[in-house]
Structure 1
Amino acid sequence: MLDKRHLLNYSILLPYLILSVLGLIIVYSTTSASLIQLGLNPFRSVINQGIFWIISLLAILFIYRLKLDFLKNSSVLTVVMLVEVVLLIIARFWAREVNGAHGWIVLGPISFQPAEYLKIIMVWFLAYTFERRQQSIEIYDYQALTKRKWWPKRMSDLKDWRFYSLILILLVAAQPDLGNATIIVMTAIVLYSISGVGYRWFSALLTLTITISTVFLGLISIIGVKTVSKIPIFGYVAKRFSAFFNPFKDVTDSGHQLVHSYYAMSNGGWFGRGLGNSIEKRGYLPEAQTDFVFSIVIEELGFIGASLILALVFFLILRILLVGIKAKNPFNAMIALGVGGMMLMQVFVNIGGISGLIPSTGVTFPFLSQGGNSLLVLSVAIGFVLNIDANEKREEIYREVAEAERDPNDVFVEDMEYGRYYE
């Protein structure tokens, strides 16, 4: 059997490594000044991020060596999803509140955010579900995915994807974590659209999503943010909507972050103030190391430097999408396209939030923001794609060898699952 070590996709691995190292540098740049002011080790945050990166590299190595049949095991997926549900419930009802949300579970020095892990779990779950219905989708189109009742007969039955998806998304939204909930919904739309259903359904879903979002924002504008803030779980979220409509109306409170994000980007100009020379990170822009980190990147490296980093991120996403486009196996294709779509949505939500194009949702920028959970989830996703790409390459080599060696008088049949030819 051909060793997968020789099939590693360096056009994905190298950008990942570069972005991860850049992330460590930027985490140090955005956190060292505040840590020094507090009398703490200036390398504290970057050391924590570095530990998560080492764990992430080990996770990639482990996942890359897995057989893909492991990912298609319904028992494994069921256990993972049930554990995720339990963690989301614990995070919502028993974890302490952090910045107006209950999404973090803290165990001594270790803290993790279950909603982050749900992003890759949802990609895995939907790819598994839709891949099993490919023949039905070819015949019945979208009805193959919607003809069942919403409520399953038993909790271990993973057939009704809508029920489980809705439960998980609602648990994330109830944190409240509208940022990750938005990314998960948009990723689910991408996976549904590439599952084999008619292309017109993607247009319909996209139009419906834009319409609902527009109507929702319009209603909040008409009703008023103060009225919305009276809803218990949306009090903190209402401030973000207030900043979205007019950040300069309340510069000292709801609009503080967005206004200083504008200042940071304006300070950067074309070439930036230089790495480590940001003004806004010195107590003016809260959470400068997490969801507003790209504002600091623009301030320090300028529009040109930030554009180069953004181009590298888009190159990585494009290479991931190409793996999915070229894949012969539907499961492999949907995993890769789902991962690429998830990362693209995360970049869109983050950039849209710091620029005021959409309400700020607290979503981190991939690889650059401080956050070990985010880095680990992205690394696991990269591991999935690298494994899939290597397996697709290996199967393609087997097909080519079989084709070259076959006798024209022999009869071969194609195995639709593995793509190999047998005599």
Structure 2
Amino acid sequence: MRKRLAHIDYFILIPYLVLLGIGIVMVYSASSDIMAAAGKSPTAYLNRQTIFVIGGLFAAALGFILPLRLFASGRFVRLAVGVTMAMLFGLLVMGYFRPDLKVNGAMAWFDVGFFNVQPVEIAKLVLVLYLARILSRREEKLTRFHEAVRQIIAPMIVAGLMAMFVLLEPDTGGMAILLFLTLLMIAASGIKWSYGALIMGGVVGFSIGGLQIMRSIDLPWLKQSYQIKRLLAFFHPFKLENSVGRQLVNSYYAISNGGWFGVGIGNSIQKKGYLPEPYTDFIMSVITEELGIIGAIVVLGILFFLIGRIVLVGIRAQSAYRSLVCYGIGAWLFVQTLFNVGGMSGLLPITGVTLPFISYGGSSMLMLSAAIGLAMNVSCVEQVERERQQERGRTSAQAK
């Protein structure tokens, strides 16, 4: 334990802790006025987020302390994938028999009392661990096209099933993250870029074909889907300002009102009932309004520094498995940040995904924190191995 603590990667730990602190402050700022107006405690979400952060710190500690061989073991990965699939399928069953539990037409979580468990957040971490194990064991077979296709069929099927279950909730943001995560990890696994491009082209073609088939079938949930309305709002926000375009238009107003330096923490106008749930999907809008574009750039800079450091650890890793774990975590953080910021700025359709470590939410906080612990674990193991190699080198040199 002492040796592990001596090899903590502070370039991962410090940005992570700073983001947690920013998240606590901004969740309170974004939620306090709404809660007070509803006659509830202004600190309700602050208290919950603080508990989620404490839980996240424990999850990060576990990810750091537990041996990597546990996460790489076939038994653990099979169990994790099985439990995750069961949870995702269970949501569909619950949504079918209890449609009254859906929110905005989606059944995306289990209510366990204190907070909601979102299986899609668990699926993201499980998929990273599954793909890292499978692809690292087949690395040498990914240089020949027919072998590359054959070796990634199983990972694509597992990822495809997870994505399909998530899409049927429906949660298009979660589905997109799972698919992009899969494609990025396959691209980083050692497969030739030409093979990867062909395979990705096939996946895109299959997806487009699937969407065309779904459009031709009479699916009421697809026609009335909240996600479809969000897509319309992306194309015509001001025409739909009084309905589904309200979120995006008010996000624009928040960005405009904030200017370069913001109106000050706690002084946002758009959080006061104009932005629905400003402490989750649109917390970056509140950050931009209160801290300005400069403040938003600083927050995103910390996030991207963290992502870059995790990817760098993966590049330097001497083990294919450890590299892929870091690439997967980095890809997850990057894609989720891209979707969140792209949605609030109108560059991408709104997907409803959270901003890592900053948005309110328990499941996301726990899983992302566990992923940070794993990244620090990889960094620690790599440092220890390099020191051992250097020691052996010195010993052999002295022997000569």
TM-score, normalised relative to structure 1: 0.87
Taking a change above 3 Å as real, the CA distance of residues 336 and 149 of structure 1, as seen in their structure-2 partners, is: closer
Counterpart Cα distance in 1 of 2:241 and 2:203: 31
Taking a change above 3 Å as real, the CA distance of residues 248 and 375 of structure 1, as seen in their structure-2 partners, is: same
Deviation at 1:121, TM superposition (A): 0.8
Are residue 169 (structure 1) and residue 159 (structure 2) matched?
no
Aligned pairs for 1:5-404 within 5 A? 5-95=5-95, 96-138=101-143, 140=144, 142-147=145-150, 160-204=154-198, 231-233=220-222, 235-404=225-394
Map of 2:98 onto structure 1? none
Q: Could you tell me which amino acid in structure 2 is paired with residue 249 of structure 1?
A: K
Q: By percentage of residues, which structure has more helix?
A: 2
> Cα deviations across residues 3-52 of structure 1 (Å, max 9, x unaligned)?
11110000100000000010000000000001111111111101111111
Counterpart Cα distance in 1 of 2:397 and 2:14: 41
Taking a change above 3 Å as real, the CA distance of residues 229 and 13 of structure 1, as seen in their structure-2 partners, is: farther
Deviation at 1:148, TM superposition (A): 6.0
Taking a change above 3 Å as real, the CA distance of residues 204 and 144 of structure 1, as seen in their structure-2 partners, is: closer
Counterpart Cα distance in 2 of 1:212 and 1:351: 28
Counterpart Cα distance in 2 of 1:195 and 1:348: 22
Counterpart Cα distance in 2 of 1:206 and 1:282: 43
Taking a change above 3 Å as real, the CA distance of residues 60 and 214 of structure 1, as seen in their structure-2 partners, is: same
Counterpart Cα distance in 2 of 1:214 and 1:240: 19
Deviation at 1:408, TM superposition (A): 8.7
Which consecutive unaligned segments of at least 5 residues does structure 2 have? Answer: 96-100
Taking a change above 3 Å as real, the CA distance of residues 147 and 42 of structure 1, as seen in their structure-2 partners, is: same
SS at match of 2:116: strand
Asked if structure 2 preserves the Cα contact closer than 8 Å seen for 1:174 and 1:233, the reply is no
> Cα deviations across residues 328-365 of structure 1 (Å, max 9, x unaligned)?
10000000011011100011111111122221110111
Counterpart Cα distance in 1 of 2:316 and 2:396: 25
Deviation at 1:236, TM superposition (A): 1.4
> Cα deviations across residues 101-149 of structure 1 (Å, max 9, x unaligned)?
10010022231100011111111100100011122225x3x43342269
The number of residues matched between the two structures is 393
Counterpart Cα distance in 2 of 1:34 and 1:73: 46
Asked if structure 2 preserves the Cα contact closer than 8 Å seen for 1:186 and 1:345, the reply is yes
Map of 1:157 onto structure 2? none
SS at match of 1:147: helix
Counterpart Cα distance in 2 of 1:107 and 1:147: 41
Q: Could you tell me which amino acid in structure 1 is paired with residue 376 of structure 2?
A: L
Asked if structure 2 preserves the Cα contact closer than 8 Å seen for 1:229 and 1:236, the reply is no
Counterpart Cα distance in 2 of 1:33 and 1:165: 41
TM-score, normalised relative to structure 2: 0.92
Counterpart Cα distance in 2 of 1:299 and 1:390: 39
Asked if structure 2 preserves the Cα contact closer than 8 Å seen for 1:229 and 1:238, the reply is no
Counterpart Cα distance in 2 of 1:229 and 1:248: 30
Counterpart Cα distance in 2 of 1:351 and 1:92: 29
Deviation at 1:66, TM superposition (A): 1.1
Taking a change above 3 Å as real, the CA distance of residues 149 and 353 of structure 1, as seen in their structure-2 partners, is: closer
Map of 1:156 onto structure 2? none
Taking a change above 3 Å as real, the CA distance of residues 297 and 231 of structure 1, as seen in their structure-2 partners, is: same
SS at match of 2:170: coil
Counterpart Cα distance in 2 of 1:14 and 1:350: 23
Q: Could you tell me which amino acid in structure 1 is paired with residue 7 of structure 2?
A: L
Deviation at 1:162, TM superposition (A): 2.2
Taking a change above 3 Å as real, the CA distance of residues 28 and 2 of structure 1, as seen in their structure-2 partners, is: closer
Asked if structure 2 preserves the Cα contact closer than 8 Å seen for 1:93 and 1:102, the reply is no
Q: Could you tell me which amino acid in structure 1 is paired with residue 142 of structure 2?
A: I
SS at match of 1:248: coil
Deviation at 1:215, TM superposition (A): 10
Q: Could you tell me which amino acid in structure 2 is paired with residue 26 of structure 1?
A: M
> Cα deviations across residues 126-184 of structure 1 (Å, max 9, x unaligned)?
0100011122225x3x433422696xxxxxxxxx2222121111011111111011111
Which structure has more relative contact order (CA 8 Å, sep 6+)? It is: 2
Asked if structure 2 preserves the Cα contact closer than 8 Å seen for 1:87 and 1:114, the reply is yes
